[in-house]
Amino acid sequence: MAEAGVFIIKLDGSKLQTKADFFRELSAAIDYELTDNLDALDEDLAFEIPLRCGPYSIVWQNAAKSDWSGYSEITKILGLLTHQQQAHPDRFTSLTLDFQSDPEEDTWTYPEMYKSPYYVKERERRSGKTD
């Protein structure tokens, strides 16, 4: 359910395989041509998009169909989106990834993932804080 007064940006993961794809789809969603540059995306998410759209939320539909291989461009973009959403929750209100074609089946947000027992345990293992 969308919050009142929040602009919803819907991205179709089946169309997101490269950085160019992401910028094309995001630009179309906000009706403004963004620069195809990850450094500029930081500023766009924090300032340009809120200026043009007000508070916003990104819903990444069909996320399983995006290119998540290794450290792909799409993976880097997701990391940047996550960082910006956490840094500016008053402007970038939420980031939701939908991995199923039916949004009610398997939709979750990044704050939920960071609290999952698997993620917490894996983070502890990687930092060397396990028993």
pLDDT greater at residue 88 or residue 124: 88
Mean pLDDT across the chain? 84
pTM above 0.85, yes or no: no
Taking the C-alpha atoms of residue 126 and residue 42, their distance in angstroms, rounded to an integer, is 27
Q: What is the pLDDT of residue 34?
A: 94
CA angle 43/112/121 to nearest 5° reads 110
User: In CATH, which of 3.40.50.300, 3.30.370.10, 3.90.550.10, 3.20.20.80 is domain 7-127?
Assistant: 3.30.370.10
Can you tell me the mean pLDDT for 2-16? 88
pLDDT single digits (tens) 96-127 = 998 875 555 555 555 555 555 655 666 677 67
